[in-house]
Amino acid sequence: MTIKEALEEISKLSSPKEATILLSHILNCDTIYLILNEKKELKKLKKLDEILIKLKQNTPIEYITNKVSFYSQEFFIGEGALIPRPETEILIDEVLKVAKNFETPRIAEIGIGSGIISIILALNLPTAHCLATDISFEAIKIAKINMKKFEVENRIKIFHSSYLDGVAEDFDIIVSNPPYVANNFKLEKKLSHEPQNALFGGEIGDEILKNIIDLSYERKTKYLICEMGYDQKEKIENYLKNRDYEKLDFYKDLAGIDRGFILKL
Ligand SMILES: C[S@@+](CC[C@H](N)C(=O)[O-])C[C@H]1O[C@@H](n2cnc3c(N)ncnc32)[C@H](O)[C@@H]1O
């Protein structure tokens, strides 16, 4: 089989772009090499067969290559953590804007997953104190791999814990991209490979978000910044209706869809 034929074979189960990424991953070469050596014969590749099986099982390519691009960086990813979504870059930008109000911002992230949010914050805010939790041991393992890769192991305290249980410190900012999909929502096949406790937020979907709002009040946090589902703006507004706060702003993603909020308590 030639490189060109292998690319065609993979493309049948994905896209030409993904086929190029996957074959360069198998051959450990760059994509230019594939273009320049289209006619090169490949030996029977066990790895190619394995990848074709994974694609038939609808495995996202990020879980096959163990790599994901996010915020112009390459992170390690595995099936134990949610694949970072591009819209979460906006959540990070919102935190960075707010963090400017503090000399040494104390930031807690609930649900660190692969580590993308806390790591980008630590890299961009050299004076920040960062702490993060997750209920998933597997996710924490992946976050730690990324923290080491970006040399921020000593900048982020990480706890295997629910919400901020067992954490006594106070924070200026709580940030979270929590699970916010309703439990009975029928996911597309590809999403079934992602950890379900990273996606489902309860019967309605907004339960974890509401718990995080309550927690921010209990902890007298100054700002809460969260990603949310496209249809949760009204639910959050209603939940905060009779509460005291200074300001509530919502932001949209690049498709113009409501995607998160910044609550100044
Ligand atoms: C949507 S994922 C976000 C992961 C990562 N922060 C990102 O943006 O890609 C939600 C994460 O929250 C974690 N999680 C769910 N419930 C939690 C809880 N009660 N306390 C802490 N983490 C929780 C999940 O294990 C998962 O890693």
Closest-CA residue to 264 (of 173, 180, 164, 177) = 173
Question: pLDDT truncated to tens, each residue of the chain (265 aa)?
Answer: 999 999 999 999 999 999 999 999 999 999 999 999 999 999 877 889 999 999 999 999 999 999 999 999 999 999 999 999 999 999 999 999 999 999 999 999 999 999 999 999 999 999 999 999 999 999 999 999 999 999 999 999 999 999 999 999 999 999 999 999 999 998 888 898 999 999 999 999 999 999 999 999 999 999 999 999 999 999 999 999 999 999 999 999 999 999 999 999 9
Distance 35 CA to ligand 1 centre (A): 40
pLDDT at 59: 95
Residue 78: phi, psi to the nearest 5?
-150, 170
Q: State the DSSP code for 179.
A: -
Helices and strands counted in the chain (H then E)? 10, 11
**DSSP per-residue string spanning 39-55:** T-B----HHHHHHHHHH
pLDDT at 216: 98
- Residue with CA at minimum distance from ligand 1 atom 4: 113
pLDDT at 189: 84
pTM: 0.95
How many whole angstroms separate alpha carbon 27 and alpha carbon 107?
41
- Residue with CA at minimum distance from ligand 1 atom 8: 177
How many whole angstroms separate alpha carbon 87 and alpha carbon 56?
27
Domain locations in the chain? 3-57, 79-264
The ligand 1 site (C-beta within 6 Å) comprises 81-82, 84, 88, 110-114, 116-117, 133-136, 139, 162-163, 177-179, 197-198, 208
HSE, side-chain direction, 13 A CA sphere, residue 204: 11
Pocket probe for ligand 1: among 69, 94, 135, 174, the residue whose CB has the most ligand atoms within 8 Å is: 135
How many whole angstroms separate alpha carbon 185 and alpha carbon 193?
15
Distance 192 CA to ligand 1 centre (A): 16
CATH code of domain 79-264 = 3.40.50.150
